[in-house]
Structure 1
Amino acid sequence: MFFTETKLKGAFIIDLDRKADERGFFARAFCQNEFRAHGLNLVIAQANVALNAKRGTLRGMHFQYPPAAESKLVRCTRGAILDIIVDLRPESPTYLEHISIELNEDNMTALYVPERFAHGFQALRDSTDTSYQMGEFYTPSAEDGLRHDDPRLGLKWPLPVSVMSPKDRAFRPLREYEDEVKRRMSLAVAAA
């Protein structure tokens, strides 16, 4: 695997090291030792898949507060998505900055999302599948989210939103609860 750290410290783009022959190719998609060598301690608590039937479907921007903050390893296995993450670590010099990357069935690139980041994506094609390996169990009492269209974040989605869950549409603008996010995402809480 090839690990490229993004401008958001701890967030990595992971490309496959393909070993090709007449059969096609083989590549390792996850190795605990290689992750540890890059300072990443992803212990997989859950593995999730999502089918996005319609182009323009948007999921996000989701996160969980400590002590249930979750890391994620996200890959698109069919179709294509624009994946966006937002740094919610109040002590970080990149607090509220984001990156976006296209993940698709052709590049087979993965995005490693550290704990204390918001994550969301938009399907760029019909019948798009994503796979997530989660570093923490789903904890409803710790979940929250950011509005996908919050002007404070400046996220750029390539398509009009065709489908979105009522829960995701109901997320509040960050200005209404930023103090709570900062307090609950602080290093002191994360270390507890």
Structure 2
Amino acid sequence: MKLYGYWRSSTSYRLRCALELKGLAYEQDPVNLLESAQKGEAFTSRNPFASVPMLEYDRRDRAQSMAIIEWLDERFSDAPLLPMQTEDRFTARELAYAIATELHAPLNLPVLKYLKNELGHSQEEIDTWYRHFLAKTLVPVEQRLEQLETGDFLFDTPGLFEVVLIPQLYNARRFDYDLEGSPRMVRIEEACLALPAFQRAHPDNQPDAP
């Protein structure tokens, strides 16, 4: 497997978490988003979405992080990322997809660049935008976790929800989002970051990190 990603990309980060939790070996080929390397012909000819991550395996290039993660879980059954019970699988997907679908679209790098370069917003205004959308989704996620009375993880071991949550909390801290009212998410974050798999996947530990 070869992973094309960017050290601080939340979608690349979540895929690294999934690969590490499943114990799958992979190489990395960094794609510099700040230099728009993902928009070059060499990359878009393989991935027309012009986005990271992209996972090369078995003579196929796979794009879209959530689709890749679910494919990994189906293709490699060891260390499953989704629980066995149908209702538990729904719970994991409900929370993971709330973050993946509601937050990534308004908060990804092309949107932030557009706000600054085309619309002329200040960094302070962009940061306010970022925190607004974080709260819109993270507040109900925290409420759901409280209803479920979760412990260190959503279920017994980290899985789909955690690999999506941890990168988003990393970004939340970058934009000074107040996590004081999110004790369950913070507890899950602390438990995950204590594990070698999440440590290896952390942005600071990637080959293209500054």
Q: Same fold (TM over 0.5)?
A: no
Higher percent of residues as strand: 1
Higher percent of residues as helix: 2
Q: TM-score, normalised by structure 2?
A: 0.25
Q: TM-score, normalised by structure 1?
A: 0.27
